[in-house]
Amino acid sequence: MHRLPRSPVLSRAVRNANPRAATDLHLPSLLIRRGQYEVTIFSDVLEKCRDYLETGSNVVVTVEATMEADQLKLLARSISPIDNVVSDVGGMALKLYLENASALAQVASVLQDAAAKARNARPGEVSVCLMDPSLPGEVEMTLGQSFPLNPQVKGALKSLNDVIDVEEV
């Protein structure tokens, strides 16, 4: 995952070749090696991914790496938003732990909003575990339909009042 800098893409015309662009990628500190690299992006790849190349975007870049005169050269082969890559890994299912039943209306609102927007999300099952102290025990139920789920939907659900936890299952 790479965070793009303030001015992500510099286009350059190249004589006797396709136009190309170059961008600097800032690598996060959680990687083994930290630093800044220039990646060359030819026009065919750039046309497909220009919308993703915005400041602060999290993207996955597939590159061809070569060493030329002791310098690392990176040529982009594909660029995708990280949410697309993550959603391709497999479907997500969530289990929500709610403090009381009043949270159900807020949960329904978030899931309806996700269904309306449905961007970069695969359908997944949602189950609820109601942990209201006024009940004789925990009440578990599934919502009976699939909803578009991605990390943003999970975060929105987790931020709701009376939601104790959101677990991927």
pTM over 0.85: no
- What is the CB neighbour count within 10 angstroms for residue 124? 19
- Fold (topology level) of 90-168: Alpha-Beta Plaits (3.30.70)
Q: What is the pLDDT of residue 27?
A: 47
2-85 falls under which CATH superfamily? Nucleic acid-binding proteins (2.40.50.140)
Q: What is the pLDDT of residue 138?
A: 92
Domain boundaries, the chain: 2-85, 90-168
Q: What is the pLDDT of residue 39?
A: 81
Q: What is the pLDDT of residue 79?
A: 86
Q: What is the pLDDT of residue 34?
A: 55
Which residues of the chain are modeled with pLDDT < 50?
A: 1-11, 13-14, 16, 27-32
Q: What is the pLDDT of residue 23?
A: 56
Q: Which helix (H) or strand (E) holds 53?
A: none
Using CA atoms, how far apart are residues 35 and 30, in angstroms rounded to an integer? 11
Q: What is the pLDDT of residue 119?
A: 62
